[in-house]
Structure 1
Amino acid sequence: MQSEYLFPVRRDFLKMAAAGTAAVFTGSLASAADSKPVTIGEGKFKFTLDENWGKLPSGMHYGLGCAIVVDSKDRIIVTSRSENPCVAIFDTDGKLLETWSKELSEKIGYTPQQIAGTAHGLYWSKELSGEFLYWTENVAGSGKKDNPRIGARVYKTDMQGKILYELGNVNKEGDTTQKFDFKNPTDVAIAPNGDIYIVDGYGSQLLYRFDKNFKHLKTIGGPGNTHGKFSTCHGVWVSTLNKEQEVYVADRANNRIEIFSLELDYKRTVPGVRNPCCFYQHDGHLYIPELDQRVTVMDSSDKLVAFLGDGHSKEGKKLAEKDVNANPDKFFTPHALTLDSKGNLYILEWIGFGRVRKFANAGAI
């Protein structure tokens, strides 16, 4: 497909108050009791845990897991609510290539503490002029004089984190800055023609469409459970699985996926998901991290074809937080995911130590 904008990613993220309780974990994953590899899924969707991937050196740690994306060189970029590092970049073998904290702070105008306090979404986009990152910030601060409101921005950067355009809660408008009344945005996605879709999932429950130059085109949504209304519209994605491109919205608290045309006309709903967070498209399928202890795979016909790492027992009992490390084949709070060019799966969870993990492709993808 000829396209001005090519975009195999995005990703995604929520505001739980579990940071305090999650801090009891050390961040190290317990090994299985025997030497058998830890696997999830089956057949085409079978993956094997790489227990050594994604480790940070002494003195660094992850916070609540926010977003994880892959670039054209199969570099895995991880963001979490941590001041050190704010961003960690690995190769597919788990070698740590770069970390950003002070470096990113100097480019985007926030301290590492402020970055950690507002971190949420990240989307990688390949465009005619290069590769870019789109960042989505949550809100921090009360707005009072001694506690100014920060965050509530979506901004585009180069691959080194230099801001190219800011939209939202900016200090003043200019050629590369635009004020816009986001309440608490959560995710962004880019269409092949460059149109930009943004969800205000922790705030107004609105879905916005902009053109590639950040000109506002349309707004839909608002709180509710009727079609076209949302309850935590946490993630957004432009699917190119079929001839007709469509906008998918992870309507998390309504436990559904709402699907729209590129012009944001409602088309249909996919039920049967549990707190969907966001999407990633790979090899004819959409992968969906679900905050309620599961990853789901959906085909181009919207059929749910695989469920991975389900933390619910057959009796419906949920995996307890204290048992997370003892169950490496289960997910607790999947918040974001991505897949590399070889079909390896990377998962990041909304838990105090991030729990970023690689599951190597063991199927026939």
Structure 2
Amino acid sequence: MTTRRKFIGNSLMAGAAMATAPTLAYGNVGKSSVPPENELIGHGDFKYKVIWDWAKMSIAHNPLLNCHEMQMDSKGRLIMLGDHTANNILVFDRSGKLLDFWGTGFPGGHGLTLNDEGGEDVLYITDCGYYVDRLGKNQSQAGQVFKTTVDGKLIFPLPHPHTIGAYRQDQPYRPTETAIAPNGDIYVADGYGSDYILQFDSKGQFIKKWGGHENTDVNYNLNNAHGIAIDHRSGDEPVLIVTSRNDNAFKFFTLQGKYIKTIELPGAFVCRPVVDEGNIYAGVCWSETRSGQKWVRDTGFITILDMDNRVVSNPGGEAPKYENGKLQKMYNAPIPIFNHGHDVLVDPDKNLYLCQWNAHQTPPIKLERV
């Protein structure tokens, strides 16, 4: 077993060198501003109070780089994946108390999926391969997906597509997310690599791939396939929702990979779709400015879609507008509230927890539903 994999179950590993890390400051990070006291954000029936100091932790003891994704387990614990190898995984209760931390082997920790398998919670951890070293320089290594227990014991890694003949050697593999079908099939979104969706069975055996950039039918082309989720909302056969982030869109496919439709989200560079009952929630990492600029810092928010896939609220952004049934370009709030929305967790009370990328080492933020 490689050294990297040996690191996977390690817990309670915080380096002494981190003891001098800065303490956490809430609000006014980057361009972001704390909303005035008691002011709500969001629109329509989806309005929230921002709880900036929900997470009861200090980055002096549990250092953070980016908070990428969060899941809730069957015990009600909130499990967060980040990319700081002192503690890739942080485990909170719903009050924000830090219960546990572990994981030193995911420098590119990016995607986190929790699945109930025979009454047991398991994790699918996606390391995209991109990371920042201790000198602050961008680095890369092989991306990979690991199936683990909720306390970090390795069950198995998924094979690399180069080693099983699924990719040409010149095609990069930088996976960003997974989704698990009812039959146990595993879908991997190669969002930072070659933009394919790879399908494996429950044992990790490769089945097929689709997507990429070279399809005659352009509906199958993906452009930064950053996220993927199983959608059960129709009550019929579940379908896949795939993010095509650079297209400002979600694309829908059958579980066999047949294209169904595209939902356009103009102006919003969305991350993973999070399906909760009849709604889709997504972090918006960047939004286009009114002058047409893209990839501008501190332009993120959250977007919420209803059962009909219409945007009904943009917490941290401007209210969605439709003209003649067509969604108009979406923008962040005139005074930015968040930095970069990367993932959203919805709890049983419909409160939200926002994980942010590139947000000055801030932990997840709670949005209390009102």
1:168 maps to which residue? 159
2:192 is aligned to: 202
Identity %: 26
Partner of 1:252: 245
Q: Which has the higher contact order (CA 8 A, sep 6+)?
A: 1
Q: Please report how far the alpha carbon of residue 331 of structure 1 lies from its aligned counterpart in structure 2 after TM superposition.
A: 2.4
Q: Which residue of 2 aligns with 1:51?
A: 52
Could you tell me whether the CA contact under 8 Å between 1:311 and 1:332 is conserved in 2? no
1:154 matched to 2:145: yes
- Paired amino acid for 1:332: N
CA deviation string 1:256-301 (max 9, x = no partner) = 1110011110011001241111011213111111112121111222
Residue 34 of structure 1 deviates from its aligned partner by 8.8
Give CA deviations for 1:19-38 in whole Å, capped at 9, x if unaligned.
Answer: xxxxxx96411388897224
The aligned counterpart of 2:25 is 28
Query: In structure 2, what is the equivalent of residue 240 of structure 1?
Result: 232
Aligned to 1:97: 99
Q: 1:275 corresponds to which residue?
A: 269
Match of 1:128 in 2: 118
The answer to whether the 8 Å contact 1:74/1:341 transfers is: no
Deviations 1:290-343 (A, max 9, x none): 1121211112222222222117999988679xx8xxx5xx22210111111121
Gaps of at least 5 residues in structure 2 are: 1-21, 132-138, 287-299, 322-328
Pairwise CA distance, 1:127? 1.8
Aligned to 2:219: 227
- Unmatched segments (≥5 aa) in structure 1: 1-24, 142-147
Q: Deviations over 1:73-99 (max 9, x none)?
A: 221111222233221111111111111
Question: Conserved in 1, the CA contact under 8 Å of 2:351 and 2:368?
Answer: yes
Quick one: which amino acid aligns to residue 216 of structure 1?
F
Q: Is the 8 A contact 1:290 1:333 kept in 2?
A: yes
CA contact (8 A) 2:313 2:319 kept: no
Shift in Å, 1:193: 1.8
- Partner residue of 2:70? 68
Once residues 314 and 69 of structure 2 are traced to their aligned partners in structure 1, the CA distance between those partners, rounded to angstroms, is 21
Number of residue pairs the alignment of both structures matches: 308
Match of 2:285 among 288, 291, 294: 291
1:216 to 206, 212, 217: 206
Report Cα offsets for 1:27-61 as digits up to 9, x if no partner. Answer: 41138889722422144311111222113234322
CA–CA separation in structure 2 for the residues paired with 1:42 and 1:207:
34
Q: Which residue of 1 aligns with 2:255?
A: 262
TM (normalized to structure 2)? 0.75
**Amino acid paired to 1:121:** G
Residue 139 (structure 1) shift: 1.6
Q: Answer yes or no: is the 8 Å Cα contact 1:167–1:179 preserved in 2.
A: no
The answer to whether the Cα contact below 8 Å between 2:26 and 2:362 also exists between their aligned partners in 1 is no
Match of 1:20 in 2: none
